[in-house]
Chains A and B, each alone.
Chain A
Amino acid sequence: MIYTLCMALFFIGLYGICCKKNLIKIVLGFIIMDYAVNLFIILIGYRKNGIAPILDKTMDVKKFALSSVDPMPQAMVLTAIVIGLAVTALLVALCVRIYERYGTFDITKIRKLRG
């Protein structure tokens, strides 16, 4: 169920990128899509009633491995978030510069390049 919602979020983002006419809305669509992927990665590592993946000296390693959530996707998501931040920052900076040049955010009016 939650995977389906995650997929829906992904497609909402994709819809935003493909169909919206405003540059800022396209950027927002991109962010939504990025978050959907990040959420998906986190969900992979999730385990119901799992414990935090920190190994204490008092814990048994086997029992720990059976009950903790997977730490690997969390590490991946951190990296993916940072990359997403870089891309978003660059996109927004581009939007600002495009607004300076064209005076509009409407992509139907930003058409100096042919097909």
Chain B
Amino acid sequence: MERYIYLILLPLGGAFIIAALNAVVKSAKLRNIISDILANLVTLAAAGIALASFGIKGSYSVGAWPPPFGINLVADGFSTLMLATVNTIAFCATLYSVNYMDQYTSKRHYYSLFLLMLAGMNGVLLSGDFFNMFVFIEIASISSYALVGFGTEAEELEASFKYMVMGGIASAFMLLAVAMLYSSFGVLNMADIARAIAVSPRATTLKFPLFLFIIAFAIKGAIIPFHAWLPDAHPSAPAPVSAMLSGVLIKTLGIYAMTRIIMNIFAADVTGLAPLGIISIIIGMPLALGQTDIKRLLAYSSISQVGYIVLGLGLGTPLGIFGALFHLINHSIFKSLLFLNSGAVAYRLGTRELNDMGGLNKVMPITGGTSFIASLSIAGIPPFNGFFSKLIIILACVKAGHTGFALWAVAGSILTLSSFMKVQKLAFFGKIAEKHKGIKEAPLLMSVSVVILAVLCIASSFLLLPGLRNITLQPAVDALLAGAEYAKIIK
């Protein structure tokens, strides 16, 4: 269990060292190289730790202060699964940034903010204390606000401001809810609050903080009708940051925090979430289909894919939760792959407009091939991971007796297919424009990182095999189904 503390300490320390390099190293070129290496080492180490520690349950008291006086870190099946996903995607994104971020000035600050965001996310996944969770959510959000506006162009600043105001409202709501819980129970430790809620006679007054929590996390997770910031913020960020935001940040701050609080702390009924998921699916997808900016299209499709995850969780059945978590992993892999590919195209072409592209398969075979794999995955074509997770969610809908939901989910899936066929047709197939004949494949490290993700797209289908399933997905499902039993991890 002690090793989990490094998942927070390493990125946090890395962020400060990279930010402080200015004082020690005088040459700007050397500074960039050092920060490249350091950031990649940190994320590689974090990914290694997270992947090597599947299934380690337990709680760790920071500074040896026992809870409820001290802050404690808690890991169970759900958080280890999320940690592995977050850190793997973060490693691919930093590997990609080495070449990609050369376009921007001040690469150091970028890495510094990036690692801070990673530390915040790992902290959210591990924290076993409400106020601590709030602080980590703020660390992750503030660094992501800054990263969205990193290019400091007019649109990026506007998107960042919008995102920040929405995020600020969400944070205020969450803090208010935390304060209310504290006033009811006098503790902040999640496990103690879960125990207290289970025997609390005043169940109705607890509805209000729960309601505030749901709104706060729905804003952070961009669930329709709280999605307004996402289609602006995600395309405006640099590509590796978009990959992190769409791939893991909305899931960590939104979905993870929401399900943890609803299912494990309040042990409340989740079925109210399923209609929200359906609304996200059916509103998000047509909006995606109408876009011609490749990154905006991907951002809208993120909204609808998150809808699938929420739908699966909202069913509340073991199969539904299983499908939702599986889709969560798959979505973070293929959506970050697609965002990284869109970044590679923008890096070479200098445009994100789909109508200006065409025939890129001939000049950028790796980017074209990997994005073809990712498009098939997100659209749910058989041997790829997206097919299995969507199938499980739809089956779970039918089994739970919600045939209507299943139909809408299938319809959403067809729209996904058509919108990604549009991307493929306009960008990668067809005739290449004369002026684009001379462009080259993306630089080496960018290609390596997308190839890793493309391999993961196929490899994650194997998580369904019983052997792998029992060490990765099943503990996560059990952790969520256990409800308030969560408190038992902490002695």
Find out whether the CB atom of B142 lies under 8 angstroms from the CB atom of A90: yes
Known: A40-B176, A113-B159. A91 touches B164 (CB 8 A): yes
Closest B residue by C-beta to A98: B157
B: number of interface residues (CB 8 Å): 32
Chain B contact surface mostly: helix
A115 to B145, CA, bound (A): 19
Q: Does A12 contact B (CB under 8 A)?
A: no
Knowing A40-B176, A41-B179, A97-B152, the reply to whether A113 touches B164 (Cβ < 8 A) is no
CB distance from A31 to the nearest CB of B (A): 10
Taking a contact as CB atoms under 8 Å apart, the answer to whether B158 and A110 are in contact is yes
Is residue B123 within 8 Å, beta carbon to beta carbon, of the partner chain?
Answer: no
Query: Is the pair A83, B138 in contact by a Cβ cutoff of 8 Å?
Result: yes
Residues of A within 8 A of B186 (CB): 70
Interface of chain A, main secondary structure: helix
> Per-residue CB proximity of B154-168 to A under 8 Å, as 1/0?
110111111011001
Shortest distance in angstroms between A113's beta carbon and chain B's nearest beta carbon?
Answer: 5
Q: In which size bucket is the chain A interface?
A: 20 to 34
Instruction: Flag if B154 contacts A44 (CB, 8 Å).
Output: no
Residue among A80, A87, A95, A112 making CB contact with B168, cutoff 8 Å = A87
B145 adjacent to A90 (CB under 8 Å): yes
**Are A44 and B183 CB-contacts (below 8 A) given A37-B176, A112-B154, A112-B155?**
yes
For A79, what are the chain B residues with a Cβ–Cβ distance below 8 Å?
Answer: 131, 135
Q: Judge whether B182 and A94 touch: CB under 8 Å.
A: no
Please tell me if B21 contacts chain A, counting CB pairs below 8 Å. Answer: no
Instruction: Determine if B445 is an interface residue (Cβ-Cβ < 8 Å).
Output: no
Complex partner residue of B165 from A26, A70, A98, CB under 8 angstroms = A26
Bound state CA distance, A26 and B161, in angstroms? Answer: 10
Chain B 140-189 interface residues, beta-carbon cutoff 8 Å to A: 142, 145-146, 149, 152-155, 157-162, 164-165, 168-169, 171-172, 175-176, 179, 182-183, 186, 188
Q: Tell me, yes or no, whether B232 is within 8 Å of chain A by CB.
A: yes
Kindly list chain B residues whose C-beta atoms are within 8 Å of the C-beta of A73: 179, 182
Interface residues, chain B, with chain A CB atoms under 8 Å away: 131, 135, 138, 142, 145-146, 149, 152-155, 157-162, 164-165, 168-169, 171-172, 175-176, 179, 182-183, 186, 188, 231-232
| A-B pairs with lowest CB-CB distance, top 9 | A101-B154, A44-B183, A41-B179, A83-B138, A98-B157, A113-B232, A112-B155, A37-B175, A94-B161
Chain A interface (Cβ < 8 Å from any Cβ of B):
10, 13-14, 17, 23, 26, 30, 33-34, 37, 40-41, 44, 70, 72-73, 76, 79-80, 83, 86-87, 90-91, 94-95, 97-98, 101-102, 110, 112-113, 115
What 16 additional pairs, Cβ within 8 angstroms, besides A87-B168, A97-B157? A13-B172, A40-B179, A44-B182, A70-B186, A72-B188, A76-B179, A76-B182, A83-B138, A83-B171, A86-B138, A87-B164, A94-B157, A94-B161, A97-B152, A102-B154, A112-B158
